[in-house]
Amino acid sequence: MSRIRVALAQLAPVLMDREATLAKVHSAMREAAGQGAQLVAFGEALVPGYPFWSERTDGARFNSSVQKAMHALYQQQAIDVAGGQLAATCALARELGLAVYLGCMERATDRSHHSLYASLVYIDAQGEIGSVHRKLQPTYDERLNWAPGDGHGLRVHDLAGFRVGGLNCWENWMPLPRAALYGQGENLHVAVWPGSVRNTADITRYLALEGRSYVLSVSAVMRQQWLPDELPLTAAMKAEQEDWLCDGGSCIAAPDGSWLLEPQQGCEGVFVADLDLNRVYEERQNFDPAGHYSRPDVTRLVVNRERQSTVRFSDTDPTD
């Protein structure tokens, strides 16, 4: 039966610095490959970091000049995936023969290039981008900086006998997106988070039991003292007197809900585990959510995977 070694890279971003954070991503990719991993996953919005300031600095104040300045910097440091700003990451994935799930802020050229999406990018071991999943619904104060995505990235990918898919943060609580992945044969689920044990400790095992799949929850970490002093709102964030803005919680659950890797809290690191596909087959004997334990004659899900846009052009040649 198929076996695979996976890695969770629990990192702190260099907040608001795309290139410096990508350098940390590349270093973790090399470390994961050096430990024999075939897949490495990174936390939500890791590049160039999660918008911690929105909750902590009165982010909802309308027309705040300092909030606007912070958001403008966020846009400038986000990733233009279509423009090739992950080319070096893709090349390294190809060099290492390593598949990657990377959480990033995407500045999307097909949606005006001025709105931000929390995107989960899958890069295969040949260095090709297989999917870009834009978070369907930003959570709470995230809506001050992020736009809602679409279903285009609700896809799974073949990897060493496994079928791997992923969702961002609280999307993992949404039953229908999960069902969309189950229906495509997902048996290795990647759940990415900004970083908190309170998020990952329960849902990771729950998703494993529901999907009878392996579940990788991967988070980031950030301490107050790591915030760059030059950012417009660093002083206000540090005034909160909070040591950990996010404390990690990366973990792995087996298809029976047991821990392969218990939540890792308060540290950076690359954590590896070996997965055996036979364990999926064993647990699907009594429950398969999109197979023998489904009733498509009673309930079915319709998924729109069209990439959404506000315009469609139909140009004619003026010489015709």
Q: In whole angstroms, give the CA distance from residue 20 to residue 26.
A: 10
Catalytic residue among 24, 44, 210, 246: 44
For residue 316, the model assigns a pLDDT of 74
Question: Is 104 annotated as catalytic?
Answer: no
Q: 135, 171, 251, 283: which is the annotated catalytic residue?
A: 135
pLDDT of residue 296: 94
CA distance 116 to 248: 24
169 is catalytic: yes
Yes or no: say if 177 and 153 are a contact pair by the CB < 8 Å rule: no
Identify the three-state secondary structure at position 112.
coil
In sequence order, what are the beta bridge partners of 157? 164
Q: How many Cβ atoms are within 10 Å of 234's Cβ, its own excluded?
A: 18
Residue 73, phi then psi, degrees to nearest 5: -65, -40
Residue-level pLDDT at 310:
87
Dig out the tokens for 184 from the structure: 């495509």
pLDDT at residue number 1 = 62
Nearest of 222, 267, 240 to residue 21 by alpha carbon: 222
**pLDDT value, residue 318:** 67
AA identity, residue 294: S
Residues linked to residue 248 through DSSP beta bridges, in sequence order:
265
135 as an active site residue: the answer is: yes
3 state SS of 237: helix
Catalytic member of 90, 104, 142, 169? 169
Which residue is listed with tokens 């919005």? 45
pLDDT of residue 242: 82
Q: What are residue 7's phi and psi, to 5 degrees?
A: -135, 140
In angstroms and rounded to an integer, the radius of gyration of the C-alpha atoms of the chain is 20
Burial degree of 211 (CB within 10 A; 0-12, 13-18, 19+): buried
Low-confidence ranges of the chain (pLDDT < 70): 1, 318, 320
Structural domains in the chain? 3-283 (3.60.110.10)
Q: How far apart are CA 70 and CA 78, in angstroms?
A: 12
